[in-house]
Amino acid sequence: EAGVAQSPRYKIIEKRQSVAFWCNPISGHATLYWYQQILGQGPKLLIQFQNNGVVDDSQLPKDRFSAERLKGVDSTLKIQPAKLEDSAVYLCASSLMLGKSYNEQFFGPGTRLTVL
Amino acid sequence: QKEVEQNSGPLSVPEGAIASLNCTYSDRGSQSFFWYRQYSGKSPELIMFIYSNGDKEDGRFTAQLNKASQYVSLLIRDSQPSDSATYLCAVNTGSNYKLTFGKGTLLTVNP
């Protein structure tokens, strides 16, 4: 079974530029998550989708971050314009379903973003 | 703000010893608890989950949960150098089962 795919793996941009990340979850997984992991910290949930609907985006900086999952499968996360503090690893994860207290999330390899 | 607290370490143990990793959480409504391992430069991978008070054992790993004290721990017996990694505690709360992660504890097992 293929895992969660993400691209690109690395991205270097200058502040105020825009950037987009792509994620393809495990086949059949209804729930998709985007996390931001700053060096030395745990992952922080940015947005959670159930199929193509947003379940939780309470920690997404909506003035600069946006995300979509139009067909309920793959997803893109965009930052526009980027700030220095956006330098982090962006992790995508997926899980089979919502509504179960045990609901293992499988993580992709991440995209390491450096903002100069 | 629902929080998950971990000692950031580093925790250093000799090979063959027991490593003990601790985590506290603030939300009494938390329902399930996860331990992820993250090697340097890699993504987190699930090693244990627990949702009932008491102990849960899986090979060399034992998760312990005390909901009254809002405390969850992970014991690693017969620690190996390959166990050297950051261990993330994550807590699942709310109707959407959102995961909140701690900052992680860096474990180093010395040969």
Among B99, B100, B103, B106, most A C-beta atoms within 10 A, so best to mutate, is: B99
Nearest by CB to residue B97, choosing from A42, A91, A101, is: A101
User: In sequence order, what are the beta bridge partners of A57?
Assistant: none
Is residue B5 packed enough to be buried (19+ CB in 10 Å), middle (13-18) or exposed (0-12)?
Answer: middle
Residue contact A110–B43, C-beta within 8 A: yes
d(CA B60, CA B1): 34
Strands B105-110 and B11-14: parallel
State residue B87's pLDDT score.
Answer: 97
Torsions phi, psi of A95, nearest 5?
A: -140, 160
Share of chain B above pLDDT 70, in %: 98
- Note the residue count of chain B: 111
Nearest-by-Cβ selection for B98 from A40, A48, A91: A48
The C-alpha R_g of chain A, in whole angstroms, comes to 13
pLDDT single digits (tens) A62-102 = 999 999 998 889 999 999 999 999 999 999 999 987 666 66
pLDDT tens figures, B62-110: 999 999 999 999 999 999 999 999 999 999 877 677 889 999 999 999 9
